[in-house]
């Protein structure tokens, strides 16, 4: 009888303990990868994002709380391509977590699965904050999201083989919905092809490249350098000669420079969410592109 009681107790304990024990702890560097991990892993994962849509991912402090999160992670998902070069290496070193170090199965760089644009031919600090591997903001081309999703679902299955069927099912569901959304977005965005816009930073390049829009200027005089009065004055003069249809900036940017140019050049200023959480509608990856396209179509006539 005691053996039966012990067996029943053990089974009950296992049924309670397995859900939390089976969950894979995922640390993501940016919200877009947290949203993708949620799509692919569902309740099989516990996900923590180091940044929000209102933070510049280039400039994050390696806080003790982030080190603690990395220390308990089974999988680290970051953009790479030097985007997190100023803070991620310290987190990895200080965490002492062997599972998520560079080269381990628990280390995942999303940018490795996309063809990068704006790869510099010359590296010179006088050119501004230039990334040697190319533009890191790959997530704003939805075709890249599909490539990363395929690789990430395989990595999840590798790290958590007991839930491989669940990961495969969720991946199939995501890819089906993403293909349908991509077809819809390309139809909607057709009207934006060739439209010139002024950007704040090079973070929108993949999106512009995907929809066929044209960068007519940048609020930053050089990548990573803040707008200056002289540069903004030059932009105003340029807009008189070659007017853009809008000046766009990300949710984490200050709107002041964009509003300055908007007022003087008589072109609309538009905030784009840039990543998941950047607006009320951008609650997931689907909402991000819905809102980006919707805002542009509603502003550019």
pTM, to two decimals: 0.90
Q: Please identify, among 160, 184, 208, the residue that sits at the C-terminal boundary of a domain.
A: 184
Domain total of the chain? 2
Per-residue confidence (pLDDT) for residue 128, from 0 to 100: 56
Exposure string of 31-53, with b = 16+ CB inside 10 Å and e = fewer, is bbbbbbbbbbbeebbebebbbbb
- Residue whose pair of structure tokens reads 């977005």 in the numeric block: 185
Output the CA–CA distances (angstroms, integers) from residue 288 to 219, 253, 258, 285, in the order listed.
23, 17, 21, 5
Per-residue confidence (pLDDT) for residue 224, from 0 to 100: 82
Per-residue confidence (pLDDT) for residue 122, from 0 to 100: 67
- CATH classification at residue 241: 3.40.50.1980
In angstroms, rounded to a whole number, what is the distance separating the alpha carbons of residues 45 and 156?
A: 9
Q: Please identify, among 162, 184, 206, the residue that sits at the C-terminal boundary of a domain.
A: 184
Per-position pLDDT tens, the chain of length 301: 444 434 433 433 333 333 444 489 999 999 999 999 999 999 999 999 999 999 999 989 999 999 999 999 999 999 999 999 999 999 999 999 999 999 999 999 999 999 999 887 766 665 556 667 789 999 999 999 999 999 999 999 999 999 999 999 999 999 999 999 999 999 999 999 999 999 999 999 999 999 999 999 999 998 889 999 999 999 999 999 999 999 999 999 999 999 999 999 999 999 999 999 999 999 999 999 999 999 999 999 8
Q: Do 26 and 170 have their domain in common?
A: yes
Q: Do 56 and 89 have their domain in common?
A: yes
Phi-psi sector, 42: left (phi>0), alpha (psi -120 to 50), beta: left
Domain that holds residue 285: 191-299
């Amino acid at each position: 009888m005691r053996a039966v009681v012990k067996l029943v107790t053990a089974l009950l304990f296992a049924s309670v303990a397995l859900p939390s024990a089976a969950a894979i702890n995922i640390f993501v560097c940016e919200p877009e990868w947290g949203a993708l991990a949620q799509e692919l892993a569902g309740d099989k994962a516990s996900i923590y994002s180091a940044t929000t849509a209102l933070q510049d991912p280039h400039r994050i402090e390696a806080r003790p709380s982030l080190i603690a999160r990395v220390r308990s992670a089974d999988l680290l998902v970051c953009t790479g391509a030097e985007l997190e070069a100023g803070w991620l290496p310290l987190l990895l070193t200080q965490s002492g977590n062997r599972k998520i170090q560079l080269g381990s199965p628990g280390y995942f760089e999303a940018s490795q699965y996309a063809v990068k644009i704006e790869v510099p031919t010359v590296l010179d600090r006088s050119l501004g904050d230039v990334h040697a591997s190319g533009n890191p903001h790959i997530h704003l081309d939805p075709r890249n999201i599909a490539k990363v999703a395929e690789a990430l679902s395989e990595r999840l299955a590798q790290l958590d083989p007991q839930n491989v069927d669940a990961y495969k099912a969720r991946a199939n569901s995501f890819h089906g919905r993403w293909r349908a959304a991509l077809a819809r977005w390309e139809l909607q965005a057709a009207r934006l092809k060739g439209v010139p816009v002024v950007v704040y930073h090079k973070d929108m390049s993949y999106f512009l490249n995907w929809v066929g829009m044209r960068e007519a200027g940048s609020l930053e005089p050089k990548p990573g350098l803040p707008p200056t009065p002289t540069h903004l004055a030059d932009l105003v003069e340029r807009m008189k000669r070659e007017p853009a249809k809008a000046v766009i900036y990300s949710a984490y940017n200050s709107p002041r420079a964009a509003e300055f140019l908007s007022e003087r050049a008589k072109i609309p200023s538009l905030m784009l969410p840039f990543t998941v959480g950047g607006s009320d509608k951008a609650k997931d990856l689907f909402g991000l592109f819905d809102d980006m396209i919707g805002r542009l179509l509603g502003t550019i006539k």
